[in-house]
Amino acid sequence: MRAIPIAGLLLGLAVLSSLPFVLDAYSLRIATGVFMWAGLACSWNIVGGYAGYISFGHSAFFGIGAYATAILMQRDLGLPFIATVPVGLLGAAAVAALIGEPTMRLRGSYFAIATWAFAEMLLQLVNISEITGGTGGLSLPPYLDELFFYYTMAGAALGCYLLVWLLFERSRFGFRIKALRDHEPAAEAMGINTTQVKVQAFALSAAMAALFGSIYAYWVTFIDPRSAMGGEITDQMVVMVLLGGLGTVWGPALGAALLWIVNRYVWAEWGDTTIYLPVLGVVIALVVLFLPNGLISLLPGRGRTGGKGRRLLGTIVRKL
């Protein structure tokens, strides 16, 4: 029986590895974007799905990774891309741990407001800071190799999903985070240091978001405050997780793939228009009404993610 999933996994990896050789350049960029958003949705799912805390500040961590790479690759410093990635990851994790210690003691909308305020504060600092280029943004040395970015994004996304599966589905850490999500007072009574576990999950989530921010900056070769730290980045992460399946391993990947492909299709057909927003609204409404556990629940044996996930889903949608 175990040979079947392993064979399916190997087949999936073979298909993903061969995609660059059958897709045209535009489709390959869409596929690269799918992996980036799948990784970002995975990072948000750690806090929103597994810990049960609504974060509206994840765009800040994406931006920290993007700006760390952009600043360190400027002509006066000239660091190679690979050397800038750990700086972004560690910086985002440190910032998340610093703000997570006080804010993760808050509950419900208070934590959501605190993370949103932090992201807005950081966005305004980037807007006026000279080192970030202010509103004019920063350009990076171009590296026009789509194959490199496809495989880098794919490797980063698959690595993040493997790490989440091991940590949150197969380890004691995952049991602790689910326990505090489902009933925090009971988890504390069992001897779990809930604040420490939440901060660790928050820092891990931030580091993942920063990883994709670093790759994104090098990929697009130009970033500005809105493209690297805009609030719509977090909004998309949230919607992708809701669409795919909150608190599941593979649900965020499913939601990210579907939403990003629809996004690019709408953009190609109608250009830069707001028609995407009502389409997105209809999709969210249908998911809330008919699939509260996300599209992943349509797969056999995945019909439920628990009552806590359903209540959290309703709370998040009301805040969008």
Angle between helices 307-319 and 276-290 (to 10 degrees): 150
pTM for this entry: 0.90
Mean pLDDT across the chain: 87
C-alpha distances out from residue 153 to 37, 160, 183, 197, 199, Å: 10, 11, 36, 28, 26
DSSP H stretches of helix in 170-230: 172-182, 184-189, 194-220, 225-229
Q: Residue 33's closest CA among 21, 19, 45, 12? A: 19
**pLDDT in the model for residue 165:** 94
Q: What six digits make up the tokens of 249?
A: 């391993």
**pLDDT in the model for residue 303:** 54
Q: What percent of the chain has pLDDT over 70?
A: 89
pLDDT, tens digit, for every residue of 169-221?
999 999 999 998 888 889 888 889 988 999 999 999 999 999 999 999 999 99
Q: Within 10 A of 64 (CB to CB), how many other CB atoms are there?
A: 30
Q: Distance between the two ends of the chain, CA-based, in angstroms?
A: 43
